[in-house]
Amino acid sequence: EIFSLHVDSKVTSRFAHTVITSRIVNRANESREATFEVELPKTAFITNFSMSIDGEVYPGIIKEKAAAQNEYDTAVLQGQSAGLVKITDRKLEQFHVSVSIAAASKVTFELTYEELLKRKLGKYELLIKVRPKQLVKHFQIDVHIFEPQGIHFLETDSTFMTNELTEALTKVQNETKAHILFKPTLDQQKKNSELDETLLNGDFVVRYDVKREAAAGDIQIVNGYFVHYFAPQEMPVFPKNIIFVIDRSGSMAGRKIEQTMDALMKILQDLRLEDHFNFITFNNKVVEWKSSLLPATEENVASAAALVQTLTARGGTDISGALLAAVGELEKAEGLPERSVSMIVLLTDGQPTSGERNVEVIQENVQKAINGKYALFCLGFGFDVSYKFLEKMALRNGGIARRIYENADAALQLQAFYQEVATPILMQIEMQYPENSIEGLTKNNFKLFFEGSEIIVSGKMSNDLDLLPVEIKAQSHTSNLTLKEEANVKEKEHVFQNQRYIFGNFIERLWAYLTIQQLLEKGISAQEEDQKALEAQALDLSLRYSFVTPLTSMVVTKPSGQQQKELANKPTEAG
């Protein structure tokens, strides 16, 4: 039985450090299997795991992936074990380990993971998955948040709350700190008084945003590392020129095309009057709805909605022809607003089966045609798509890729994606810092900034720096901006000095996390030689800061007499 289960999360300036501790007792009079199964956000990196059995500790050791694999038994190399981590849904992956423990023995499992919370649609979200599958005598979720900029709003949300459970939730908040404690008793956890079934099954979510006073963003500094957060507000929105490229091949038939139609109907309503748009639908034939982009007037939107409702799915998949037609339309478009953002949104559920089929050739041709002028966003519907192909193509052309999971909420996933890119407010953003006194600077040039998101730049400062000057250059819809700010290093360091629950080097770890994420992303769209160099850098950091990333594995050793070693790898969306 699980005697206690604690989730302890400390969020400091968007960087979340979560420790899950589970104590299990074998009350039987023979040895039994004890299982530790938790779900964590895909965006997180595991940093630590240990099992303590009757006072003996078995730590997980993080190694380079190939080295870890070699250490692994031949039995496992023949594919008898699935590894300890797998993707479970669009936001989560699951860590699962079992160990056999003797009668009356106890085991304590402890898993630590870290992530940088990403601002989406004006909110940060800390997601904790709760699924103990049994009643737990000592259950608690304990979240501490410290945001030196000040907390603007804070809410908790859960998929399993009842009136009784709400009584187990407390929130205490002041200007810069919040403490959330959820500690239900055994009775509060029960579905009903007769049965020993638990109500605790689902998501526990904390959402918040911070205050933003300074125009040039907020700089925080600890132990010689800085992080700079920039999320301008209340700016005029750029008009968009957007072409939706929609797959209507045979495999989209049924639920998928219906959900796509639902989402497109809502997206059409969200277009702004100053936006221009068009639709291209494709199977083995490419069909342009109109010969050029149209302004999003009520009349044009209504006429597009009528088209969307007639979509039917059959035939092959000419991704190449459809994308090149979209680029061609943007190329020859006339009368578009002078300062505007042009983007192509591709939705497909399969591999190219008509027209050009070689994915490398398609990537090459599309990149040549786009030539840095437009952003390409690729949405892969379900698991028959080559996600790697879509991701590479999007990243090479200033966009992102997203997998749409075939669930009941697929239409909502599509809409949510659109909302994230619906309001571009800055383009060509350059974040400039004194070159000779900063090293290891993360990405500091950004093509587009969408309202509700956030730009984060981090780096290491040289020791003799007293003032850190920052200059931001960007284009808004109405003007070219230059914003300047100067951070006093001593004053900034002081902010974190007396914070009890902060792990001292958190900005350095945040810097490492962000750098690894960006190196891996860059590697996806890089040429092979460059890819190796980027991966070598990311591997070095993963090992130095002990993160389980796609390049490292954690070797978990069990007591003798059991399958001795198991591996925890980091799964990726591209598989």
CATH of the domain at 245: 3.40.50.410
pLDDT score of 66? 86
516 located within any domain = no
If we measure between CA atoms, which residue out of 8, 147, 10, 35 comes closest to residue 95?
35
pLDDT tens for each residue of 289-298: 999 999 999 9
Q: What pLDDT sits at residue 502?
A: 56
Tokens representing residue 183 in the block: 């500690």
370 and 407 in a single domain? The answer is yes
The SS3 assignment for 115 reads: strand
Q: Are residues 9 and 114 in the same domain?
A: yes
At which of 422, 442, 475 does a domain end?
A: 422
How many structural domains are present in the chain?
Answer: 2
Could you tell me if 147 and 249 lie in one domain? Answer: no
Q: Which of 366, 387, 422 is the last residue of a domain?
A: 422
The size of the chain, in residues, is: 575
Task: Please check whether residue 370 lies inside any domain of the structure.
Answer: yes
In this structure, is residue 491 part of a structural domain? no
Are the C-beta atoms of residues 314 and 283 closer than 8 Å to each other? yes
Within a domain: residue 157? yes
Domain annotation covers residue 41: yes
pLDDT of 220 reads 94
**Tokens 């404690």 correspond to what residue?**
181
Angstrom distances, CA of residue 64 to CA of 231, 270, 425, 475, 521: 36, 47, 41, 43, 19
Whether residues 177 and 254 share a domain: the answer is no
Write 289-293 long-range contacts (CB < 8 A, 24+).
Answer: 292/329, 292/332, 292/333, 292/334, 293/241, 293/243, 293/329, 293/330, 293/333, 293/336
What is the pLDDT, as a whole number, of residue 498?
Answer: 67
Cβ contact 243:206 at 8 Å:
no
- Residues of the chain short of pLDDT 50, as ranges, are 75, 79-80
**Coil, strand or helix: which one is 251?**
helix
Judgement on whether residues 287 and 162 belong to the same structural domain of the protein: no
| Domain assignment present for 498 | no
Same domain, 319 and 397: yes
- Shared domain for 65 and 206, answered yes or no, is yes
Asked if residue 169 and residue 251 are part of one domain, the reply reads no
Q: How far apart are CA 20 and CA 465, in angstroms?
A: 39
Which structural domain, as residue segments, surrounds residue 258? 240-422
Where does 231-345 have alpha helices with state H?
A: 255-270, 298-308, 319-332
Instruction: Tell whether 361 and 274 lie within a shared domain.
Output: yes
User: d(Cα 409, Cα 398) in Å, to the nearest integer?
Assistant: 27
What residues form DSSP beta bridges with 430?
445, 473
Q: 195 and 258 in one domain?
A: no
Q: How far is CA 549 from CA 109, 110, 179, 290, in A?
A: 21, 19, 30, 46
Q: Compute φ and ψ for 560, nearest 5 degrees.
A: -60, 155
Integer Cα distance of 542 and 570 in angstroms: 12
175 shares its domain with 285: no
Last residue in a domain, options 387, 422, 457: 422
Half-sphere exposure of 127 (CA within 13 A, CB side): 20
CA distance 138 to 18: 18
Whether 340 contacts 425, CB under 8 Å: no
Q: What are phi and psi of 208, to 5 degrees?
A: -155, 170
Q: Do 273 and 161 reside in the same domain of the chain? A: no
Give all strands (DSSP E) within 193-340, no chain letters. Answer: 202-210, 218-222, 225-230, 240-247, 276-282, 286-288, 294-295
Q: Is residue 394 part of a domain?
A: yes
Q: Which residue has the tokens 């160099």?
A: 533
Burial zone of 226 (CB within 10 Å; 0-12 exposed, 13-18 middle, 19+ buried): buried
CATH number, domain containing residue 128: 2.60.40
List 211's β-bridge partners, or say none: none
Residue 172 lies in a domain: yes
